[in-house]
Amino acid sequence: MKEKITEQSIILFEKKGFSGTSIQDIVDSLGVTKGTFYYYFSSKEELLMDIHIRYIDDLLSHQERIMEDPSKSCKEKLHDMIYLLIHDIKKQGPSARVYFREIRHLSEEHLKVVLPKRDRFRLNIQGIVEEGMKKGEFKKGLEAAIVTFGILGMTNWSYNWYNPNGKITDEEVTKIYMDIILNGILA
């Protein structure tokens, strides 16, 4: 039941927003009582925190597997991380939209748990960019932090427009992003 509450809440939070969704909305949509909700979550914010932690922990787990592969170059690892974020839209699109849009509703206490995980994800990408510069795979002298924010800006915004069931595949989007990152758009 906890999983059902979480999944239904993601749908409602995505559609109506965190503030626009009440606990009553959640339990009514599932045909259960508030007591059922409170058996699993002490508050709506705790539920939101659970959604955030599940989402970022899943991404970190996949990202760390990419980083640990000694057979891949920095360029390949960067490709795989971008592909992870684009491919993830099919499976996690609603969770991602809630993750990015509703973080402002988490308390300071919860932010102290979530923000370091977000930072770790970003810094892992930055580490790949820095390593690639050291190894000569990427242009030297780049500001790795700015490059990383640019990569995350492109990929994270994709959750708002990319349709995984549309005419362009996740691999094609990844290829376009990699081309822009590595070569720019100058003719």
Q: Could you tell me which residue, 93 or 12, shows the higher pLDDT?
A: 12
What is the rounded CA–CA span in Å between residue 62 and residue 53?
14
The answer to whether residue 184 scores a pLDDT higher than 90 is: no
Indicate the average pLDDT of the chain: 94
Task: Collapse the DSSP code of 137 into the 3-class scheme (helix H, G, I; strand E, B; otherwise coil) and give the result.
Answer: coil
Architecture of the domain whose range is 44-183: Orthogonal Bundle (1.10)
Burial class (CB in 10 A: 0-12, 13-18, 19+), 98: buried
* Mean pLDDT value across residues 164-172: 94
Would you state the pLDDT for residue 185?
77
Instruction: Flag whether pLDDT at 162 surpasses 90.
Output: yes
Identify which has the larger pLDDT, 93 or 74. Answer: 74
Fold designation for 1-41: Arc Repressor Mutant, subunit A (1.10.10)
Mean pLDDT of 5-30: 96
pLDDT of residue 117: 97
pLDDT at position 3 is: 94
In this prediction, residues 43-69 reach a mean pLDDT of 96
Mean pLDDT of 18-25: 96
Quote the pTM value.
0.89
C-alpha distances (whole Å) from 14 to each of 10, 37, 38, 138 are: 6, 19, 21, 38
Residue 90 has pLDDT above 90, yes or no: no
Q: Output the pLDDT for position 138.
A: 94
- Locate CATH 1.10.357.10 in the chain: 44-183
